[in-house]
Amino acid sequence: MAVSKDLISVVITTYNASLTIVNVVNSLLLASEFIAEIIMVDDKSTDGTLEIVKTNFPGVKIIAKEENSGGPAGPRNIGLNASRCDYVMFCDSDDLVSYEYIKLAVSKISSGEFAVFSGLRQNITDHSEFGMMLKFRRQSISRISYQSLSLKDRVTLSGSLVNRNELHHSFNEDVRLHGVEDYLFFLQNAKSGVKIGRLNSRVIGYLISETNISKNKFKRINKFILLNRINDRYIITSILFTMTHYLIALLERVFNRYY
């Protein structure tokens, strides 16, 4: 069956997401007029995630991996390859996506203005804190250049809508990059000339919990250095770019704004 070009495939990657997956899928179903299919790639969950989705959402296409991948990059590539629409939205299993944002993202991608479009996240502890029909009065949209992206990861993968026909790179599946593979994905595509846009409004609700809070900062620093090395930078340059990333992140926290 032919799928309208302005409909999207949503790819959700899951691993032990039983506490959040129902709210995540329900938030997406609010935008069902734009969504042709929801694909869930499960990375060998052990907490009943698969059973919950099968019971509550029989229309969701499930791809269950037989072995854990060690990170979401492999499952994201599987979902991307399995999707039947030109436009693909990635969604993490602990994120809620605003209906109004999805509507805007579809318009920006289908017009050809951008090949990748994203929004900003806000941390929430309960799904009721997030207005799923969220409307934003002023559409402040940034074009994210490769130079800007080199200094700081400025694009949130979850909620990002992409035109798969214009991508030059898939996700690097090196398990050492777990936690920064999405940044490398955007960085490499931007370097190849892919046009990236971002809505400067908090339209992605991140359901924070003890299970998804990163506590090892030193490991993450090493991952950023490795990421820069893979992006064809010398070791000294990689360290400098990593230091710049964390300095900008600190300034953003201090002044409560994005640079």
pLDDT < 50 stretches in the chain: 1, 213, 259
What is the model's pLDDT at position 222?
A: 85
Contact 92, 173 (CB under 8 A): no
The whole-angstrom separation of Cα 219 and Cα 23 is 31
Residues in the chain: 259
HSE (CB half, 13 Å, CA atoms) of 257? 2
The whole-angstrom separation of Cα 12 and Cα 24 is 9
User: What's the pTM value of the predicted model, to 2 decimals?
Assistant: 0.87
Q: Give domain limits for the chain.
A: 8-213, 215-259
CATH assignment of 8-213, among 3.90.550.10, 3.40.50.2000, 3.40.50.1820, 3.40.1260.10: 3.90.550.10
Summarize pLDDT for 16-60 with one digit per residue, the tens. Answer: 999 999 999 999 999 999 999 999 999 999 999 999 999 999 999
Cα torsion for 52, 181, 125, 31, to the nearest 10°?
-60
